[in-house]
Structure 1
Amino acid sequence: MTAVWLLPIVTCVVASSSGAVVADVLSNAQHALWTILASYILWGIGVPFAMMVMVIYLHRLTLHKLPAKSVIVSAFLPLGPLGQGSFGIMKLGSVAQKVLPKTHSLQSSSPDIFYTAGFLIGIILWSFGLVWFFFAVASIFKTRTFPFNIGWWGFTFPIGVFATGTCQMGQELPSTFFNVLGTIISLCVVILWMVVSIGTIRGIITGTVFYDQVVAEYDGKEEDKRQISMTKGVYSA
């Protein structure tokens, strides 16, 4: 098992965050309210489900060794639902604070509750993401060298959404620290994107990017098993 299991789940979290951005620019307040509700539902599907998978993944890391070098970048993937979930819930709370009074929904104190609860949940998810960030960095340093492959794009999305959560936190507080930290992480994402893009173009030209080391290792092990079986058959005969 690898953290790649999170990729189908994080789509719900991304959609909820996108819904918050869309609701913020909709001119019709009722349409914005429907979008907010749908986004909260998607967030409630994606984030708890991602938490369950992360528990299984942590159990796998605890009992077994780190993933293979060719897929070690997947250690950053838990940052995806955590960073995007942090940004999404804060953005939803911010938009709900403006939309709920316009549609006369719930009680008069509800907009502030949505906003405050959104920020509280957002900073908790961001903090949990910080832990996974250090786990991932430690895994990379422990592995030291690992071949370039198309999986290196796994660097960009998790760290990118962690940057959006950090910047959103700095905007809501407001906080110079989180704004500066978000800017630094964003610049790191841009540099990583350029590095991975150059590596991908080079790999396409040379053809090495189409070579799957994991499959090759698996095929090699299967070939060894067949040779051992044939050797046993010869000696038994």
Structure 2
Amino acid sequence: MAPSRIVPVPPNWFAVVMGTSIVATGAHALPVRVPGLDALAWVFWALAGLALVAAVAATAVHLRAERGALRGYLADPAVAPFYGAPAMGLLAYGAATLLVAQPLRGHGAVVLDGILWIGGTALGLATAVGVPVLAFTRHRVDVDAASGAWLMPVVPPMVSAATGALLLPHLDGAAAQTMALACYAMFGASGLAAIVLITQLWSRLAHHQRGAAAAVPTLWIVLGPLGQSVTAVGLLADTAGPALGVSDHALRMFALLYGVPVMGFALLWLAIAGAITAITAREGLPFSLAFWAFTFPVGTMVTGASSLAAHTGAVALDWLAVALFALLLAGWGVAATGTARDLRARRPGVLEVPQEAAAV
């Protein structure tokens, strides 16, 4: 399909914020500590902050200059799902700030994370409802159109569940109880929606194969709700017990009984997506912003494996988290290098991508 021009900042640019923030969070969460890891987390937190400011400012300028841009993006079934990215960008950077910057910023980091959590959660719930409504009533797609991109609008509530758990120790009374209940509710809403969509993607792959090469990286998005759900139940097991009047032991047992099988399926999907990506790369894999799917989804597996390692003390899970973090760094390097090279080759503010990959 001929390239289509998306000018200048479609919502998928917030995937840069997501993918950079999760490196900082993953570095903080790793169960194996090595010299320089904290400094690495700080560097990526700072880079994510710059990316967030740039993405928000450029988006505001663009939408003000082109009044119909937002409506046009939402009407496009290839672009609309990626309005989940701004929500997750806010949530991911807020969590990185709370975990990485708190030793220096103190209470300010908690306040900033709280503001970003409220904004990201509100936006994420809006996309989780609004984009499916558009898909069910306005969008027209082919029978083989299902892709990992379809997960993007329904994943933000899962990110809210995981990041909301980090705020629970800073709340008490009814506020803490409400937050804990909301996190579990969002965990369920996002998780069940993801199951429905992943089965559709599996069916499409079985009947219509991988599709366009440029869209292959979006297969990695499936890892996002899987890893983030394991992270969410693990963090809630650590923080939600007092607010809900439930024993920590019961919540940790649920986290393990849920987390280990889901992590197993995530590793299975990682192997499948990795193999398809390698095969496609040998045949020719053009760069697009879809390469950022190599970052945040893998990062959620890092945090999920780290949580499981903390709850079990299993050395195997320690090294699984380390291996996944190495993969995350490699994915970030590939995505960042490709993005920088592509921006240098084109006019500032313009990125041409194939329509199939007008995505993460």
**Structure 1 alignment gaps of length 5 or more:** 217-237
**Residue of structure 2 in register with 1:224 after alignment:** none
Structure of higher CA gyration radius: 1
CA positional deviation for 1:52: 0.4
| 2:254 pairs with 1:120 | no
- Give runs of aligned pairs for residues 1-237 of structure 1, distance below 5 A: 1-23=146-168, 25-100=169-244, 105=245, 110-143=247-280, 144=282, 145-207=284-346, 210-214=351-355
Which aligned segments of 4 or more residues in structure 1 are displaced greater than 3 angstroms?
97-100
Is the Cα contact below 8 Å between 2:162 and 2:233 reproduced in 1? yes
Q: For residues 69 and 61 of structure 1, what CA distance do their matches in structure 2 show?
A: 13
Q: Higher mean Cα deviation, 174-183 or 146-155?
A: 174-183
Measure how far apart 1:199 and its partner are.
1.4
The answer on whether the counterparts of 1:97 and 1:115 sit within 8 Å (CA) in structure 2 is: no
Letter in 2 for 1:126: M
Which residue matches 1:233?
none
Count, aligned residues: 208
Asked if structure 2 preserves the Cα contact closer than 8 Å seen for 1:17 and 1:89, the reply is yes
1:83-130 alpha-carbon deviations (Å, 9 max, x no partner): 000110121122223544xxxx36xxx442222112211112111111
Instruction: Indicate the RMSD between aligned Cα atoms, in angstroms.
Output: 2.0
Q: Distance in 2 between matches of 1:131 and 1:194?
A: 23
Give the superposition deviation at 1:55: 0.6
Contact 1:79-1:133 within 8 A present in 2 as well: yes
2:212, 2:356 within 8 Å by CA — same for their partners in 1? Answer: no
SS of corresponding position for 1:77: helix
Asked if the contact 1:2/1:67 (under 8 Å) is kept, the reply is no
Structure 2 Cα separation of the partners of residues 188 and 137 of structure 1: 11
SS of corresponding position for 2:313: coil
After TM superposition, the score normalised by the length of structure 1 is 0.81
User: How far apart are the structure 1 equivalents of 2:309 and 2:190?
Assistant: 24
Q: Is the 8 A contact 2:234 2:307 kept in 1?
A: yes
TM-score normalised by L of structure 2:
0.55
* Relative contact order higher in (CA < 8 Å, ≥ 6 apart): 2
What percent identity do the matched residue pairs reach? 26
Aligned equivalents of 1:175 and 1:14: distance in 2? 25
Q: How far has the Cα of 1:172 moved from its partner?
A: 0.9
The 8 Å contact of residues 97 and 114 in structure 1, kept in 2 or not, is answered as yes
Q: CA deviation at 1:33?
A: 2.3
Give CA deviations for 1:203-237 in whole Å, capped at 9, x if unaligned.
Answer: 01102972223479xxxxxxxxxxxxxxxxxxxxx
Q: Out of 138-147 and 70-79, give the one that drifted further.
A: 138-147
| Alpha-carbon distance, 1:28 to partner | 2.2
Counterpart amino acid of residue 352 in structure 2: Y
Deviation at 1:12, TM superposition (A): 0.9
In structure 1, the residue matched to 2:3 is none
For the 8 Å contact 1:166–1:178, the answer to whether it is kept is yes
Asked whether the 8 Å contact 1:16–1:38 carries over to 2, the reply is: yes
C-alpha distance in 2, partners of 1:58/1:8? 18
Are 1:93 and 1:119, in contact at CA under 8 Å, matched by a contact in 2?
no
CA displacement at 1:75 relative to structure 2? 1.1
